[in-house]
Chain A
Amino acid sequence: MLRFVLRRVLTAIPSLFGLLIITFLLIRVVPADPAAALAGDNATPQQIEAIRHQYGFDRPITEQLFLYLGQVLRFDFGESQFSHRAVGVDLRQRLPATLELAFAALLLATALGIPLGVIAAVYHNRWPDFLLRVLSVTGIAVAAFWFAITLQLIFAMNLGWLPLRGELSSGIVPPPSVTGSLILDAAIAGRWGVVADALQHLVLPAITLSVGALATITRFTRAGVLETMQKDFVLYERAVGYPRWRLVWVYVLRNSVIAAVTQIGLLFGALIGGAVVVEAIFDWPGVGNYLVNAILTADYKVMLAATLMIGVVYTLVNILIDLVHGWLDPRLWEQP
């Protein structure tokens, strides 16, 4: 198992460097001049030129790339041209909020998607299956911003059940930062009112983010369960009168869920990417919001570091998914 993990980690490193180099080159292809953006609204060409020189934007692009890669190898992601703050520090500050949102969405999608997939398969070609198929196609097709605004109108404006935006109500002092996650930090501090407030703020963004993933997991679980139910051992178990639902939940599901688990790993990446839109709509202070601001202001070190960080999280989650695969099917450890 250790060899397996080591191999996965080692193959991830060149991928991440590839990601960094491609992102670096793509950013520099875009005509936005960070020096012009940095100089501000009223700046003269001379001011812009001075800033371009000061930040080294006038050096050859390969030289800039190698300098940057050297910095990254030392875990130095540079500083934001605008805030002058270390990008690494800013990302650490924002990552927990994005992870909180993505995990909540994934948890919701998995907790609902797998049972719904099983139900759809068990009631194959009957009304629960039809209904779930329609809902899952809708879930994949629906635009996140439309769904978010609909949820805001219903649950925040009309019913007044949940907050509209942000991660904490006005006037509440956040707990001291330990993990960076507001919910965990409030729980550690024993401030249950803050935990409840933060959870309320999490509900609408998490539901919005989870919809696409929920639909995908439902469809993959359904397909997996349907396939497994055709296997001989299921026929045998049914023939000997094994309780139907126990058979489905204990034996069929375990043999069917691998494809869905793979999807969960891939979906996590999509959720982190999708968080960009959801964070903007709900003013969720995560990496997505940070990245959008950076793109709009051509703050290229932030763009690079945020992209790399999303890549790292995505890779780590996929390694984790591989481990879960191994747990579900130990034969995988043996593969070269």
Chain B
Amino acid sequence: MRITRRQFGALASAAVLVHNIPADAANPDVLVPGWDLPANLDPHQVLDVPAQNVALNLYDNLYRYEGNPPELVPWLAESHTVSPDGLQWEFKLRDGARFHDGSPVTPEDVVFSFQRILKIGKAPAAAFLPVLKPEGIAAADPRTVRIRLEKAYGPFFSAVPMVMIVNQKLVKSHDKDGDWGAAWLGSNEAGSGSYRLIPDTYTPLEKADIERNEGHFLGWQHNEHPIRRVEIRPTKETSTRVLALLNGSLDLTDTYLPVDQIENIEKSAVAHVNRNQTMRIFLIRMNNTKPPFDNVNARKCLAHAFNYKGFIDEILKGNAQRDPTPLPNTVWGFPRDAAGYEYDLKKAKEYFNKAVADGAPMKRPVEIHILQQLEQTTQAAQVFQADLASLGINLKIVSDTFPNLTTSTGKAETTPDMWVHWVSTYFVDPENWVGQMYDSQFHGTWKASAWYKNPKVDELLRKARGLVDQEQRAPLYEEATRLIVADSPDIWIYNTIELAGMSNRVKGARYCPVGSGSEVRWMSLSA
């Protein structure tokens, strides 16, 4: 291959004398979101916010959360029934749903999907492993799936949307050494969703392009100008992400936009900030097994020493809603009468003295671990550090990562004194928060890293878990939450208002806390 001088000259000119390069995302039917990509594309292996973003577009589930507050709506299933004892569930599939390869979605695919989740045993399986065996799932007839639980489990129906339905035949054809197609599906897809993956475009964690599935069962009547193609381009640096939104090379940011970037976006004529009340609580954990945190007065001292209003109003510029409990204030089972703890250094000092009288080592240096990539965790720790210093408590801030912390919280002795994090919505049920955070049977998981134990709370949570009727369950969660708040095992700060940058050309987006409004099927692009 030879390049002539003329070609070289043209090339050099083109490369150098460029003015006003058109924005990358200006293509009228190509959406360019800056979402992170999940570690792999298999919805049965990965369950986190990026995985939800992708899976809700590539796959369908039996029921799906839509709207805010989220409601379960029939999706691949047109209806369901449950036996009075809550053990037997039947889901009737709708007609006409097809996978991307054209084959129909059958009950066998649903059975395979549930069994695959149980066999692979990764995150989405956690909600089902205690109550469901692979043989408990069967096709009852050509349109019905029957699921028999080992014991009644209230959160089951709420967790059903976590199961994305995969094409059994396609996945089985790529099974390698009995891996249930895990290696193949990590870089491919076998769904029936509104969009399909263009496999050649996929580079793990770097990029993925998806295109519209015109034959989706739901049709496209609701959207006059559906988006033809989506180019997912993760953008690691916040500053780059925001600049890219402002120069039009990205259409959407993620939903963790730092508050200090909001003004920049709001001043712009090309983009805006979407604010949505969600179900993601922010809290400071305390290791209740380590002195002085094993003393309730010490814990209450700390709960009164955090400047909730100052943090929310000054640091977050009001972009969060104070939530004094471990439950999002938007989920059922939230006790409306729970006052929680307010910032009051005088009360904090009183509890400090009580704790000292109890023999708690209040002067010992305390460590708080923050998530180094998430600036807000540092800010919270710094706010706390200043106030604790005035009480004579020496708080040392330690930078850490989520994988390190999930490992160290496996044992009480290696769990840090304190750490800061969020708990997001994986399924909309109090079980996702108080159930898994404060029932002592979950000790050893990062969610239960307070190592809190109260037999009465355990009893209430287990009872609530064994019931199916929400009206019966709600008071049990309310009571358990009140007891937990009274024991003050952690410091609950706020329920998140999600902040996401969005190009003004994106229209019709529908927000839901599950998936953070990432379903592209509702969106269109104006010229």
Residues of A whose CB lies within 8 Å of any CB of B are 30-34, 36-48, 50-51, 79-80, 82-85, 90, 93, 145, 149, 152-153, 156-157, 160-166, 169-171, 187-188, 190, 192-193, 195-196, 199-200, 203, 280-283, 285, 289-290, 292-293, 296-298
Contacts and interface: CB of A to CB of B under 8 A. Distances in A.
Contacts of A195: 11, 15
Interface residues of B, number: 71
Given A171-B27, A281-B239, 17 more contacts: A34-B403, A37-B407, A40-B48, A40-B124, A41-B48, A44-B445, A83-B39, A83-B40, A93-B203, A152-B240, A164-B244, A165-B235, A170-B30, A171-B30, A192-B11, A289-B205, A296-B402
Q: Of A50, A199, A283, which is in contact with the most chain B CB atoms at under 10 Å from its CB?
A: A283
B431 to A, nearest CB: 11
A49 to B, nearest CB: 9
A76 to B, nearest CB: 15
Contact of A296 (B187, B204, B231, B401): B401
B404 interface: yes
Interface in B414-442: 414, 424, 426, 436, 442
A187 B1 contact: yes
Nearest to B51: A40
Nearest to B432: A42
Nearest to A83: B204
* Top 10 A-B pairs, shortest CB-CB distance: A40-B123, A33-B407, A82-B39, A170-B24, A196-B14, A45-B444, A84-B183, A37-B403, A32-B403, A83-B204
B175 interface: no
A48 B244 contact: no
Contacts of B123: 39-43, 47
Interface in B115-131: 121-127, 129
A107 to B, nearest CB: 14
Contacts of A153: 243
Contact of B18 (A40, A162, A165, A290): A162
B526 interface: no
Contacts of B246: 157
Given A44-B126, A169-B24, A285 B243 contact: no
Nearest to A153: B243
20 contacts: A33-B407, A36-B403, A36-B406, A37-B407, A40-B45, A40-B48, A41-B47, A47-B129, A84-B182, A152-B239, A152-B243, A161-B19, A163-B249, A165-B235, A170-B231, A187-B3, A192-B10, A196-B11, A196-B15, A280-B236
B426 A42 contact: yes
Nearest to A163: B21
Contacts of A31: 404, 407-408, 414
Contacts of B22: 169
A55 B240 CA distance: 37
Contact of B204 (A33, A51, A80, A196): A80
Contact of A50 (B39, B121, B235, B407): B121
B255 interface: no
Interface string B221-251: 0000000000101111101100110110100
B83 interface: no
Given A281-B237, A281-B240, A296-B373, A188 B203 contact: no
Contact of B129 (A38, A44, A85, A283): A44
B338 interface: no
Given A30-B404, A32-B401, A285-B206, A166 B24 contact: yes
A332 B305 CA distance: 70
A45 B122 contact: no
Given A42-B123, A83-B187, A166-B233, A297 B203 contact: no
Nearest to B372: A296
B186 interface: yes
A192 B235 contact: no
A190 B10 CA distance: 13
Contacts of A283: 233-236, 240
Interface in B19-75: 19-22, 24-25, 27, 30, 32, 39-40, 45-48
B3 to A, nearest CB: 7
Nearest to A156: B247
B207 interface: yes
B240 A165 contact: yes
Nearest to B185: A84
A40 B24 contact: no
B7 interface: yes
A36 B407 contact: yes
